[in-house]
A = this chain, B = another copy of it.
Amino acid sequence: MSFDDNLDRLARLCVGFGLQVKPGQELLITADIGAADLVRRITREAYGAGASNVQVFFADDAITLARFTHGSEDAIETAPGWLFEAMAGAMRNGSARLAIAGGTPGLLAEQDPGKVARANAAQSVAAKPFMEVVTSGLTNWNIVPFVTEGWAKQVYPDLPVAEAVETLWGHVFRALRLDHDDPVAAWQTVFDTLAKRREYLTERAFSALHFEGGGTDLTLGLAKGHVWAGGGLRLADGTGYAPNLPTEEVFTMPDRGRAEGRAVFTKPAVINGTIVEGLVVEFAGGKAVKITADKGEAVAQTYFTSDEGASRLGEVALVPESSPIARSDVLYFNTLFDENAACHIAFGNSYSMNLAPGADREAAGANESTIHMDCMIGGPELSVTGIASDGNRHPIMEKGEFVI
């Protein structure tokens, strides 16, 4: 399979399985300028599927950086709310949405962390109406990766750049099941497995989960009426779609007020461009009350207290150690991959799709924040136990693998 063939297969997987673009539907694409090759293939594929318009929004590292290197304080705190509003409006009118992930992970690492935090906060606030439509299940959306040089250099700083790009593409193509004869069929099998797990877990309606192993001993209350999600989603009109490709997780909403114990994080977290290693967090009453790290401790402490909800949890996700991404044992510096490599909990905002449609978030125990940061606690030692409301314990994972 040539590289071009693989990109074409990725474009077909994205449009035909990930998005399932409907005839007459508009498609909004956001991508790094370096991913133009894939964007062009996806655009042709989407028009071929009957898209009425493909609207591409390209981002560029140098343009993103210029705000920090040449912009005023006013520029740091400005984000184009009008554009997010317009995109949200288009999606409310039925446009599908595709994000190509693969920007340079450490792009802002050299910039003043205070500036970066203020810019991210402004961006989050401006993007809120947009993110709400994306996560509300109103329209089909999808995220797929593209290996840019900036990303590959971060993952393989010691390799020549062409080799870094090629090596990372190898992992990406495998994680995307493009090495299978029929990638769509392979993904259908994965999604069937994820559907069984999420249906089982939703039906059990556990009161809490207990994570244990590798130093972690954490009991995490689940939100009232929580729903497990993962794999495929379905629109009101019945159209199926796959938000993330690759994806290996099932995930739900924790109760913002009930987390007790200690989490030892098994992979570095990248916070505003800083790599945080050896992170350990103690929780009481749902809140992170002690945050330590071998590297980047101050950055973590600042970030996880950046607003009231930033020190509480918005997501808990289960991923087996046998997933292709976990087995590659690479730190990808990219959420689309790293969150699918291991069980994780996320600090910050929770997803409404993890409650019944229209449920009262506040009453259910949902967390609210401008941040959402996945941190990995999974590993070969980890066991996960469901605790029913009657106190009974049901094993879910043992030594990093599902036993349900």
CB within 8 Å for A80 and B26 given contacts A44-B66, A51-B71 = yes
A78 contacts partner chain B, Cβ-Cβ < 8 Å? yes
- Tell whether A74 pairs with B86 under 8 Å between CB atoms, given A60-B36, A63-B40: no
Given contacts A24-B74, A47-B71, A85-B86, whether A40 and B53 have CB atoms under 8 Å apart is: no
A47 touches B62 (CB 8 A): no
A39 touches B63 (CB 8 A): yes
Residues of B within 8 A of A82 (CB): 86, 89-90, 93
Task: Tell me which residues across on chain B come within 8 A of A79, comparing CB atoms.
Answer: 53
- Residues of the B chain whose Cβ atoms lie less than 8 Å from the Cβ of A69: 44, 47
CB distance from A8 to the nearest CB of B (A): 13
Determine whether A54 belongs to the interface, using a CB cutoff of 8 Å to chain B. Answer: yes
Neighbouring B residues of A44 by C-beta, 8 Å: 66, 69-70
On whether the beta carbons of A74 and B50 are closer than 8 Å, the reply is yes
Is A404 at the interface (CB under 8 A from chain B)? no
CA distance A40 to B62 in the complex (A): 6
A26-B78, A72-B47, A75-B47 are known contacts. Are A54 and B66 too (CB-CB below 8 A)? yes
Quick check: is A48 within 8 A (CB to CB) of the other chain? yes
| Beta-carbon contacts under 8 Å, A49-106 to B | 50-58, 60, 62-63, 66-67, 69-72, 74-75, 78-80, 82-83, 85-86, 89-90, 93
Q: In the complex, are the beta carbons of A63 and B67 less than 8 A apart?
A: no
Nearest B residue to A126, CB-CB: B53
Q: Are B54 and A57 in contact (CB under 8 A)?
A: no
Binding site for B on A (CB under 8 A): 23-24, 26, 33, 36, 39-40, 43-45, 47-48, 50-58, 60, 62-63, 66-67, 69-72, 74-75, 78-80, 82-83, 85-86, 89-90, 93
The 4 closest A-B pairs by CB, nearest first: A86-B86, A47-B70, A47-B71, A58-B58
